[in-house]
Amino acid sequence: MEAVQLPASWSVDQILDDLDQHGFSIIDNAYDLTYVEQLIAECTDNLARFRDAAIQNGVVSNIRSDHILWLTEDLKISNQHVQTLHALGQELNRAFFLGIKDVEAHFAYYNAGEFYALHRDNPQGKNGRMISAVYYLHDQWQDDWGGELHLQDKNDQWHTLQPKPNRIAIFQSDLLHEVVKAKHQRLSITAWLRSDASLI
């Protein structure tokens, strides 16, 4: 497979510095708008395949109310994003020796009134998730539509990150975070860069 190059809009040095200093980083204008349109179309064309999200072992929990579709090889457009995250994982390995080996990802949508309560993606190092990456897929978003990512950084400072279109929030998977209740349909791709094989 040909090596994937990171988009020019991704400043690797800035990402590495942000993760080192704060445990999270933001990439705005992540992709070319033509690709963004293709991603949104692939997501919305497959909404009928989504299912209620579970937290582990297929158990649906009342701490979250979103709906997901795991990314598999038949979803060609979104898998380009996954391959880009693989390339980012190699940069993170060189800088931080994280041992990232794989990426797992799913589409997610939140309808109005849906949320994801405070949690960690890798509590006490219980799984192989090292870095979480949330890409905001909707084509527009207003500040009063809710759906923000509320995140506690590695210095115990809280941040409220707007789900702006074509933005990626990257953060350590052990950081405490939540998705504030949305007031409008919110689309994203959630991914985890793992130090073990993906479970999907």
What is the mean predicted confidence (pLDDT) over 33-37?
97
pLDDT confidence of 126, banded at 50, 70, 90? confident
pLDDT digits (tens, 9 = 90+) for 60-100: 456 787 899 999 999 999 999 999 999 999 999 999 999 99
What was the pLDDT predicted at 99?
96
pLDDT digits (tens, 9 = 90+) for 163-180: 999 999 999 999 999 999
What was the pLDDT predicted at 1?
47
pLDDT digits (tens, 9 = 90+) for 44-57: 999 999 988 765 55
CA 97 to chain centre: 21
What is the mean predicted confidence (pLDDT) over 93-122?
95
**pTM metric for this prediction:** 0.93
For 11-144, list the strands marked E by DSSP.
Answer: 24-27, 51-52, 67-70, 102-110, 116-119, 129-136
Q: What are phi and psi of 176, to 5 degrees?
A: -75, 135
Domains and CATH numbers, the chain: 12-117+127-172+190-194 (2.60.120.620)
